[in-house]
Structure 1
């Protein structure tokens, strides 16, 4: 969570974190491992060294990319804002004030329902929606976001 905490103003802290689900990345991880094993088998069986290197290298890239996504995708809530950081090669950071968030949708397929992961679609005003796929426990994240947003709006009404 260091990438998120480094962007926070003094005195603000993370209240809730959302993480990328290992189950969401499992097809890429398994395919990477299968390609690496296949590459080793092809290389040890005969003269197809170039094919073996391509298979092993492709599997290694898939596996590494999935692990990098797991490590770099972060979603955090503070008492005032929602912060999302994602991206391996070009990291992106998106910050929303909680008062700006208008809608939060969860999209979850059958496998996501079984393993409790899904896609969060967070919209604010007229801006395009932020879509983050593969978030672990998306309904809990949506509920925490709604609770924090309602508390902030009530606090703003009391101050006015």
Structure 2
């Protein structure tokens, strides 16, 4: 079994903060075609209970690899490939407002050998919002670790 088994129950750490600015939100809206006013129209969004624009939930989710791979680096090598294998138990708990700072914390929940050179690693991931009581989202992120 790989070294991943030894990490079950262990924290991989916490990422750096990232500011979710309106430019990033608008770029995601353009990339996905989701231009709902709550994301891209600050004046209209100011009239909602959110008081301004909020990031797409899928934008926040899509940033997990950005935060995660630096946390994985100490546990992998250049010969190892990690592939996003899916997401389980995803819950959006609080919206991320434009200009909020967010970061990821991750821990290893389980490891399952899937065949020669293939290991499924299940991570408990939480995207935190700076200064907020509740996180933006929680999910189990699945990685397939492929070794030569």
> TM-score scaled to structure 1, two decimals?
0.25
